[in-house]
Amino acid sequence: MLVLMQSGATESEIAQVEERICELGFTPHTMPGKTATAIGITGNSGPLEPAMFAGLAGIARVIAVTQPFKLVSREVKQDDTVIDFGDASIGGAELALMAGPCSVESRDQIMQAAIAAKAAGAKFLRGGAFKPRTSPYAFQGLKEEGLKLLAEARDATGLRVVTEVKDTETLEMVADYADVLQVGARNMQNYSLLEALGNIRQPVLLKRGMSATIKEWLMCAEYVVARGNRQVILCERGLRTFETMTRNTMDVGAIPLVKHLSHLPVVADPSHGIGIAQHVTPLALGCVAAGADGLIIEMHPDPSRALSDGDQSLTPEGFSDLVQKVERVAAAVGRRVVKADDEWKGAS
């Protein structure tokens, strides 16, 4: 259920509606929009009667929400959610570019990656410090040391740091260093983690589980938003299918569909989506054409020596080539790439 206020509704009229929702034993979620404020309602087990709001001023309409995901749905909020980072944003006209290695491996490696990412035009640096690996014997990440190196790279370049949080135990530590907290595909339905992320106010990049339906994915985003953290970015990273020639099957069609169903930004990860460096750029172009709000790309200064995901990692030159091609496709679909700083030459 959703109460849509009139465009001129006053703060006290909004407060009275919120109060009525609380009196009914439900939770109001007030969302100021471009033209009017909407108040989403959660906690009700069945449909609510518009009569429950009788006598209150400033209400335009009381609308039933048909989707099981409520607060993340377009029914509740028509305007796109734009996550603002000052001189960068995700979900607006600007296409967000995120790049960096799968894992942080050393100071040299992450610095070189950050400098290359920035020089090519990215505004976000990705890199895992806590790595959920299929094998317990594989490189698990540098953990807090990796987070410190990411923070150093941010200080040196001004890039925002996107890094994975693997569990609730390390959330506070990771949140101290990260600008965007990534939830990996394997953790999409880790409900304790999602609830904990809902209680903080840092943006969350929620990857789609490798066999999750779109509804399940959006319900996971709802977990975070329902707790009060509205800064959720969805990330399509490919699904496990019968196909073995590609690492995953990128669900490009999910991008326009999810953007239709939800107001949250959708970022594409073609690196995990296909798993083969050579094919990452064409797939990235397809994702941008399909309406992705950004790209997260694995890029390593020397992919052949990467400790994880080298096969799908672009070189710095490959990433720079990707950005140049992406700029043209972005322009064709009404988006633009705003380079981090055209004057910036990188550290020597």
The site for ligand PEP (CB under 6 A) is made up of 102, 128, 184-186, 207, 237, 272
- With H, G, I as helix, E, B as strand and everything else as coil, classify residue 52: helix
CA angle 318, 322, 323 (to 5 degrees): 120
| CB closest to ligand PEP, residue no | 184
**72 interface partner picked from ligand PEP, Mn ion, none, CB below 5 to 8 A per type:** none
84 is written with which tokens? Answer: 């603002």
Q: Which is nearer to ligand PEP, 1 or 98 (CB)?
A: 98
Site string for Mn ion, 130-149 (x = CB under 5 A): --------------------
Q: Which is nearer to ligand PEP, 116 or 183 (CB)?
A: 183
Q: How far is the CB of 173 from Mn ion (least distance, A)?
A: 21
CA distance 91 to 291: 10
Q: How far is the CB of 162 from ligand PEP (least distance, A)?
A: 9
> DSSP code of 299?
B
Q: Which residues pair with 296 in a beta bridge?
A: 98
Q: How far is the CB of 82 from ligand PEP (least distance, A)?
A: 23
Q: How far is the CB of 185 from ligand PEP (least distance, A)?
A: 4
**114 interface partner picked from ligand PEP, Mn ion, none, CB below 5 to 8 A per type:** none
Site residues (CB under 5 A) for Mn ion, limited to 296-315:
309
Q: How far is the CB of 135 from Mn ion (least distance, A)?
A: 14
CA distance 240 to 123: 30
**207 interface partner picked from ligand PEP, Mn ion, none, CB below 5 to 8 A per type:** ligand PEP
Site string for Mn ion, 100-119 (x = CB under 5 A): --x-----------------
Helix, strand, coil percent content, the chain, rounded in steps of 5? 35, 20, 45
**247 interface partner picked from Mn ion, ligand PEP, none, CB below 5 to 8 A per type:** none
Q: How far is the CB of 283 from ligand PEP (least distance, A)?
A: 14
Comparing CA positions, the residue from 126, 139, 144 lying closest to residue 184 is 126
Q: Which is nearer to Mn ion, 293 or 309 (CB)?
A: 309
Integer CA distances (angstroms), 27 to 63, 64, 198, in order:
16, 15, 15
Q: How far is the CB of 209 from ligand PEP (least distance, A)?
A: 9
* Cβ-based neighbour number of residue 158 at 10 Å: 17
Sign, Cα dihedral of 197, 292, 95, 316 = positive
183 touching Mn ion, by CB under 5 A: no
Which string of DSSP letters, residue by residue, matches 246-273?
SSSB--TTHHHHHHHHBSS-EEE-HHHH
239 touching Mn ion, by CB under 5 A: no
- What's the residue count for the chain? 348
Residue with tokens 């959708």: 266
**In the complex, which residues of this chain contact Mn ion (CB under 5 A)?**
102, 309
